[in-house]
Amino acid sequence: MTEERTKVLIIGSGPAGYTAGIYASRANLSPVIYEGNQPGGQLTQTTEIENFPGYPNGVQGMEMMQHLRDQAERFGARVVSRLIDSVDFSQRPFRCVDDRGDVVVADTVIISTGASAKYLGIPDEEKYNGLGVSACATCDGFFYRKKTVAVVGGGDTACEEALYLSTLAKKVYMIVRKDYLRASDIMKKRVNERENIEILFNCNTVGLFGEDGVEGARLVRHLGTPEQTEFDIEIDGFFLGIGHRPNTGIFKGQIDMDEEGYIKVNAPYTSTNVAGVFAAGDCADPIYRQAVSAAGTGCRAAIDAERYILENDL
């Protein structure tokens, strides 16, 4: 077991973590970034990104994350391709232990562990990931202009995704396993009024098919009942609209979170209820979940951490 001391420990990577690393290292704080079990975050699972400023012709998700990582390292951030397993925010400086048992002692901590999309759990979701399967309509909807897509889910998230896609796609199916929408009344009204949205109630997705990408979905209506029937729909894209899960499990009981596990911050700052601990990116953002907004909060978290260090003579 080794023990390392740092002024700024960044837990997690992605746009928020790497941007925090860029700003903290430019402030001569020599941050340490623990990338976690998905270095670069969710965007490394995305093919082309067209809505991040500075890439007029688009960029591959893996490439963009490598650019951000390289930039953080250029200014002095040390990137560790390991996972922080546990934290102790009850003592100062904070003590964090990684998956090899090594200890990082930090004056400040920036949490940027992101969030993970909830999936149905069918094998075809992984098979067609990036080839027609997406968990972000705002990110990928542009690729499906004048095409036919499906959104799984019946809550507000699914309705928001379907409404957004309906402004781009020719037709949008909503695949809902219950016989009603769980969404708020206003969202139900908006979906029902949109002519190119068709709701398929009492339906479960059991598979996807296609040669070089998604070409259709295999559905079962009234699953597990005598009325069970199977049918296919032709689609070009399959969107998950069943929500996200923040990757904040190791921080439970250490800092304040909402009922879904998103970290609460003292807006407009990125500080948490524990002085010296800050949160950036999707782990503290249940609303926008965009790369550019995550990067922005990473910048803010680094500035907040720098000011905290200066004000407390650390």
> What are the tens digits of pLDDT across the range 71-81?
999 999 999 99
Q: Distance between CA atoms of 145 and 171, rounded to whole angstroms?
A: 10
Same domain? 273 vs 200: no
What is the mean pLDDT of the segment spanning 30-58? Answer: 84
Same domain? 194 vs 288: no
| Angle ∠(201,202,204) on CA atoms, nearest 5 | 105
Residue where one domain finishes, among candidates 240, 264, 287: 240
More confident call, 209 vs 48: 209
Same domain? 59 vs 205: no
At 135-146, the pLDDT tens digits run: 888 888 999 999
Answer yes or no: is pLDDT of 44 > 80: no
At 244-271, the pLDDT tens digits run: 899 999 999 999 999 999 999 999 999 9
Active-site residue (options: 140, 236, 282, 285): 140
Q: Distance between CA atoms of 102 and 227, rounded to whole angstroms?
A: 57
Answer yes or no: is pLDDT of 125 > 70: yes
Amino acid identity, residue 299?
C
> What is the bridge-based pairing of β-strands 48-49 and 78-80?
unpaired
What does the DSSP assignment read for 77-90? PEEE-S-EEEEE-S
Residue where one domain finishes, among candidates 240, 257, 284: 240
Give yes or no: 96 in active site.
no
Looking at residue 303, what is its pLDDT? 98
Residue where one domain finishes, among candidates 240, 260, 291: 240
Same domain? 162 vs 73: no
Angle between helices 156-166 and 185-193 (to 10 degrees): 30
Looking at residue 289, what is its pLDDT? 81
At 162-183, the pLDDT tens digits run: 999 999 999 999 999 999 999 8
CATH number for the domain harbouring residue 76: 3.50.50.60
Same domain? 233 vs 162: yes
Same domain? 236 vs 124: yes
0.75 exceeded by the pTM?
Answer: yes
Looking at residue 50, what is its pLDDT? 81
Same domain? 207 vs 104: no
Number of domains composing the chain: 2
Same domain? 205 vs 293: no
Residue written as token pair 């997690």: 12
Q: How far apart are the first and last CA of the chain?
A: 25
Same domain? 124 vs 230: yes
Active-site residue (options: 96, 107, 139, 282): 139
| Average pLDDT along the chain | 93
Same domain? 172 vs 88: no
Q: In which domain, by residue range, is 289 found?
A: 3-116+244-311
Looking at residue 107, what is its pLDDT? 98
Give yes or no: 159 in active site.
no
Conformational region of residue 231, where left means phi above 0, alpha means psi within -120 to 50, and beta covers everything else? beta
Looking at residue 38, what is its pLDDT? 78
Residue written as token pair 């957004």: 164
Same domain? 123 vs 229: yes
Give yes or no: 139 in active site.
yes
Same domain? 209 vs 180: yes
Residue written as token pair 């800092």: 255
Active-site residue (options: 96, 98, 107, 136): 136
